């Protein structure tokens, strides 16, 4: 069994991948490079012990990362505690997709994985909206080419920034008030943060479609995708495992001898 990891700025999503490509289990841990390899290794062993065969069933690890220091910690943890080598997911011609952008070397590995995942799971023109620490909009052509997109602050990052800079505003729970005219401070904040984020998604998707392909399918992924999808009229499909699927398929193409 292959472990796949999407190492983001705030969290790392780990998945146990079946040989057929399905993600059997998914876990979230903090992307904290201050933790030791032994701490991370023990934690991962505890998590994967629920799998049939436990740690002995895992024969590889492939990770897409935007946090190199934590990648190093995870690599050492995997080698010490699981006896496996971490292989990094990066763009390569062997993936079978192109990066049609002006700065291909600066495209994050997670966005490459989203493009590959969307191309293989949902053939045709697609816009992947990833609800992470940063909210990304990845535009994927019908042949799998990554054409670019947009990056906006993630909802949780926006909320944290707002609360840290305003002494009198309270922290609020995730929620969508029924009204768009808040009568309490909490409602005001929830409308601005959560309804505002949903409207931003719909607005950006509408303009991307108008500029590129009106029929492009919108695939939502990331930790908050399921909670936002029902509030975004533009979302066609919710696939919380899309990035992990892309990493797994990428591993198959980059390392066919071990797939």
Distance CA 259, CA 245 (A): 14
Report yes or no: 23 and 5 within 8 Å, Cβ to Cβ: no
**Residue among 6, 110, 130, 241 flagged as catalytic:** 110
Phi, psi (deg, nearest 5) at residue 229: -55, -40
Which of helix, strand or coil describes residue 108?
coil
Residue 31: CB partners within 8 Å, gap ≥ 6?
A: 7, 8, 9, 10, 11, 12, 67, 70
Joined together, the tokens standing for residue 82 give 């699981």
Instruction: Report the alpha-carbon angle 135-157-238, nearest 5.
Output: 35
How many CB atoms sit inside 10 A of residue 255's CB?
A: 14
Q: Which helix (H) or strand (E) holds 14?
A: strand 11-17
213 in catalytic set: no
Distance CA 110, CA 100 (A): 16
Q: How far, in Å, are 28, 99, 112, 128, 211 from residue 200 at the CA level?
A: 26, 25, 23, 14, 17
DSSP notation for 158-212: HHHHHHHH-TTPPP--S---S-SS-SSHHHHHHIIIIIHHHHHHHHHHHHHHHHS
- What residues are labeled active site? 110
């Amino acid at each position: 069994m292959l472990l796949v990891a999407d190492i983001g700025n705030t969290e790392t999503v780990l998945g146990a991948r079946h040989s057929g490509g399905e993600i059997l289990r998914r876990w979230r841990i903090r992307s904290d490079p201050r933790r030791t390899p032994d701490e991370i290794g023990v934690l991962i062993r505890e998590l994967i012990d629920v799998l049939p065969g436990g740690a002995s069933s895992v024969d590889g690890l492939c990770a897409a990362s935007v946090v190199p220091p934590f990648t190093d910690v995870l690599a050492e943890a995997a080698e010490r505690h699981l006896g496996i080598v971490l292989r990094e997911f990066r763009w390569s011609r062997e993936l079978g997709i192109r990066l049609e952008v002006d700065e291909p070397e600066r495209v994050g590995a997670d966005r490459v994985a989203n493009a590959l995942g969307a191309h293989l799971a949902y053939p045709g023109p697609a816009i992947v909206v990833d609800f992470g620490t940063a909210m990304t909009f990845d535009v994927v052509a019908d042949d799998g080419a990554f054409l670019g997109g947009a990056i906006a602050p993630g909802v949780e990052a926006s909320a944290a920034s707002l609360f840290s800079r305003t002494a009198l505003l309270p922290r609020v729970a995730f929620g969508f008030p029924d009204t768009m005219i808040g009568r309490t401070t909490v409602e005001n904040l929830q409308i601005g943060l959560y309804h505002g984020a949903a409207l931003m998604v719909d607005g950006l998707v509408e303009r991307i479609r108008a500029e590129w392909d009106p029929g492009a399918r919108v695939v939502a992924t990331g930790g908050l995708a399921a909670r936002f999808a029902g509030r975004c009229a533009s979302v066609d499909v919710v696939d919380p495992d899309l990035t992990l699927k892309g990493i797994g398929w990428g591993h198959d193409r980059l390392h066919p001898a071990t797939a």
